[in-house]
Amino acid sequence: MTAAEYYKIIHTDFPFVPTNEQDRALEELSSFVIDKDKDRLFLLKGYAGTGKTTIISAVVKNIWKAKMSCVLLAPTGRAAKVISSYSNKTASTIHREIYYPKAQGKGGNVEFTLKQNKHRNSLFIVDESSMIPDVASENKMFGGNGSLLDDLIEYVYSGVGCILLLIGDTAQLPPVKLDVSPALELTLLEQRYLKEVTCIELDEVKRQEEDSGILLNATRIRNHIEELDNDFKFDVDPFIDINRLIDGHEIWRLFKQLMTLKDMRKLPLSLGLIKEQIYIINKFGLGFFFAKAN
């Protein structure tokens, strides 16, 4: 199969007409998947709502047609559940995939070492890559050289026909004690790992933009930051997913809504809460919700 043929497949399977940015990502990913070049790495960056999820879903769904398989990973269990839900494929944490328990170390603690990658002709897709550190962890339980990013790349490219796709949002916080997200830094990936990195950054928010005040305001905040403009005001009035809380009655209404909510992701963004009010809602509201869910 050629890259052009695979591109046609995933383009046809796309649920809507892709933007120019999304279409370029589909083309570049098709080339990346078909070539399986050990010297290449793919970096897909973009804000929430720019289409990363839709693009990856199309690739994962049709990867078997390129005679390849997918391995879905994320830094945390929660993030792994997210990528699994939108791709309809089992996902794992990075640690679970690349390390295995070797022996008990000092003090009886179990130590882990880097596994042998037994996958063949596989596309490794890592979501939420902004959380991956490149410095040695203070936790000495894990082997390799102590850097999760180093160990991940070493593990993936030690497999026959295996390549790596990193996905992340530059607006997300970097790993603890780091100023940037190393896994999203093009120059670092190229120079440290000697890879030819294809980097696509999506910045056109499409998902729910017309109906979602949260996404619209998030996009406006990013634009203000990039333009070094401190004069920002929330646009809240026309949207159902944003509540302006003024007095205790509205806070109580929000609390009652929380008690009957089945999906926490559908809770509107609430503006105007002070720290003490947020603490009360978190302590009692979320505690009630998770107790009810369990």
Beta strands, E only, 10-144 = 40-46, 69-74, 91-93, 99-104, 110-114, 122-126
In whole angstroms, what separates CA 246 from the centre of its chain? 34
Q: Check pLDDT > 70 for residue 187.
A: yes
Report residue 67: phi and psi, to 5°. 60, 40
Lowest-confidence region among 10-14, 70-74, 138-142: 138-142
Q: What is the pLDDT of residue 141?
A: 60
The whole-angstrom separation of Cα 117 and Cα 159 is 5
Q: What is the Cα–Cα distance from 12 to 259, expressed in whole angstroms?
A: 42
Q: Are 176 and 133 in contact (CB under 8 A)?
A: yes
Least confident of 17-21, 85-89, 158-162, 258-262: 258-262
* Average pLDDT of the chain to the nearest whole number: 81
Look up the pTM and report it. Answer: 0.75
101-152 pLDDT, tens digit each: 876 656 667 778 899 999 999 999 999 999 999 876 666 565 566 789 999 9
Longest dimension (CA), the chain: 63
Q: Exposure string (b/e) for 184-215, b if CB count within 10 Å is 16 or more?
A: bbeebbeeebebebbbbebeebbeeeeebbeb
Q: What angle do CA 102, 108, 113 make, to 5 degrees?
A: 20
Q: What are phi and psi of 175, to 5 degrees?
A: -60, 160
Tens digit of pLDDT for each residue in 15-67? 999 999 999 999 999 999 999 999 999 999 998 888 999 999 999 999 999 99
Q: Is 92 helix (H, G, I), strand (E, B) or coil?
A: strand
